[in-house]
Amino acid sequence: MAYRNGTYVAFHAGGTTDPTKSDIKYYNTMKMWDASKHIEFSLCNSHEKTSSVRDSSKKETLKRSLITRLRNSKQFLLILTKTTKNDTDWVPFEIAYAVDTCELPLILAYPDYDSIMAPAELSDYWSPALKTRIENGSARAIHIPFRKAAVLDALSQFDITNKNYPTNGYGYYTREAHQEWGLV
């Protein structure tokens, strides 16, 4: 059995390695938080997806690497922007494997929002792989704004050891929690 201690972070790379033109900028923000030494969490290098090539042997190597990282993770954080649903390659695979095989809770972080109290209203951000799992109840997900306080709180609470919450795909923090973070 793998030692599951990492946070798997997924995002839509948009087929580019330019950090200003893809959602990797949010992953890089998390790396900066991690580097501050004041925040304790472990990130997995899912950003290697951006260097993916269409050579099938290299795709299989990348796929095996992603599977290993997912198996070693205790939670799955997906950064959701308006373009995430356009990813038809790696993000749907990562979601499916995280939920269906690894049974990881999903932390769904939205950079476009300061507060989230009605997750169903954000379904336009969801790819078919995510939407199906949220709607059929197989995904346990918490929806949060991509803000440092919310991300850190979610990472501290929602992992494979917490089976009590979230119980379905529509979890979210209370208004009071958002107020504590200074977001509403």
Structure confidence by residue, pLDDT tens digits, 46-96: 444 444 444 556 888 888 889 998 999 999 999 999 999 988 889 999 999
Per-residue pLDDT tens for 91-134?
999 999 999 999 999 999 999 999 999 999 999 999 999 999 99
Q: What angle do CA 178, 114, 16 make, to 5 degrees?
A: 135
Q: CA–CA separation, 143 vs 145, rounded Å?
A: 7
Q: Are 113 and 145 in contact (CB under 8 A)?
A: yes
Nearest one of 45, 77, 82, 74 to 62, comparing CA atoms: 45
pTM of this prediction?
A: 0.89
Q: If we measure between CA atoms, which residue out of 110, 42, 117 comes closest to residue 78?
A: 110
